[in-house]
Amino acid sequence: MPSLKEIKGRINSVKSTQKITSAMKMISSAKLRKAQSRVEHFLPYQERLTLMLNGFLSSESSSYSSPLSQQREVKRVALVVYSSNSSLCGAFNSNVINLLTKTVNEYAKANVEVEVYPIGKKIEEATHKSTRKFQIKGSYISLMDKPQFAGAKEIADDLVNDFLAKKIDRVVLIYNHFKSTAVQVPTSETFLPVELKKGREALPVAADYIIEPDKQTLFDVLIPKSLKTKIYSVLLDSAAAEQAARMVAMQIATDNADDLLNNLSIQFNKQRQQAITSELLDIIGGSEALK
């Protein structure tokens, strides 16, 4: 059995760890509020842009098509994967890595070449360690620490240019969607080719628009802009999910430390009582021997 000194050392160690996890929970809570604020400020812009695009599509029945909406045989796919730069956030990173592995395996069975855009240190490390053969495109570790639209625009431009040049045939985003503080949903969705929602059903109330200079020119501007905002909005979404996952993980760790301290305290008291009892028995035995 461990000695009283060993148990006391473990108690002090757990208390120190508990202080750290409690502090990390408070920091993550503050960062989560900041991340949610960024999402709430950017979301109306994205929603309005999407509403405008769908509104223009539903305003008339012309057969508009974009090179970015072209469906073709998938021979090469690009996966844009979001993770965190640090650990201690529960299953946040492992969920994304598992979803990436599953997706890569599915494409491998179909003999589709894969290239990965790793956004975040953890997913970049996982891709370098992977036994699967795929091309790693760039390094975007700094983008997760400080989400910026300029960085998202650069990625979106590269993807669009490669898609138009037919270097890739599909782009898929893999990330953790922030549903609530306690729930982050691993998500995989198609980024390219773009799905154009045509027809009056695109909006609850269809409207007639006067478009200048013309519909083709307007769509050629709006669609790439909506793709850039999508990359950025997913970046903000993943950043908020990361802080939520870390806050929950640190809360669980703090609660576990409480339980461990209670058990160690009981063990310490039992050991101390046993030591006192043994000393009393020794004293009594010695006094009896002197009689």
Whether 257 and 14 have beta carbons less than 8 Å apart is answered as yes
Mean pLDDT of the chain: 87
Domain containing 200: what range? 31-247
* 264 lies in some domain: no
How far CA 218 is from CA of 19, 87, 200, 211, 276, in Å, comes to 56, 44, 19, 8, 86
Looking at residue 90, the DSSP 8-state letter turns out to be T
* 96 lies in some domain: yes
* 119 lies in some domain: yes
How far CA 163 is from CA of 41, 67, 191, 218, in Å, comes to 30, 9, 11, 20
pLDDT of residue 186: 95
CB atoms within 10 A of CB 288: 8
* 237 lies in some domain: yes
Residue 82: closest CA among 150, 168, 160, 141: 141
* 285 lies in some domain: no
pLDDT of residue 117: 96
* 238 lies in some domain: yes
- Give me the residue label for tokens 């996966």: 79
pLDDT of residue 184: 93
Q: Which stretches of the chain are assigned E, i.e. beta strand?
A: 76-82, 113-119, 135-136, 170-178, 184-192
* 106 lies in some domain: yes
pLDDT of residue 64: 66
Domain count for the chain: 1
Overall average pLDDT of the 273-279 stretch:
81
pLDDT of residue 60: 52
Strand order of the sheet with strand 170-178? 135-136, 113-119, 76-82, 170-178, 184-192
Helix or strand run (H / E) with residue 58: helix 4-58
Antiparallel, parallel or unpaired: β 170-178 and 113-119: unpaired
Residue 182: closest CA among 100, 81, 84, 91: 91
Overall average pLDDT of the 120-137 stretch:
88
Structure tokens at 215: 């519909």
- Tens digits of per-residue pLDDT, 87-113? 899 999 999 999 999 999 999 999 999
pLDDT of residue 252: 94
- Tens digits of per-residue pLDDT, 132-184? 778 899 889 989 888 899 999 999 999 999 999 999 999 999 999 999 988 99
Whether 58 and 148 have beta carbons less than 8 Å apart is answered as no
* 198 lies in some domain: yes
Question: Phi then psi for 62, rounded to 5 degrees?
Answer: -70, 150
Overall average pLDDT of the 269-278 stretch:
84
Whether 116 and 81 have beta carbons less than 8 Å apart is answered as yes
- Tens digits of per-residue pLDDT, 55-95? 776 655 455 678 888 889 999 999 999 999 998 999 999 99
Report the CATH number at residue 171.
3.40.1380.10
> What percentage of residues in the chain have a pLDDT greater than 70?
91
188: left (phi over 0), alpha (psi -120 to 50) or beta: beta
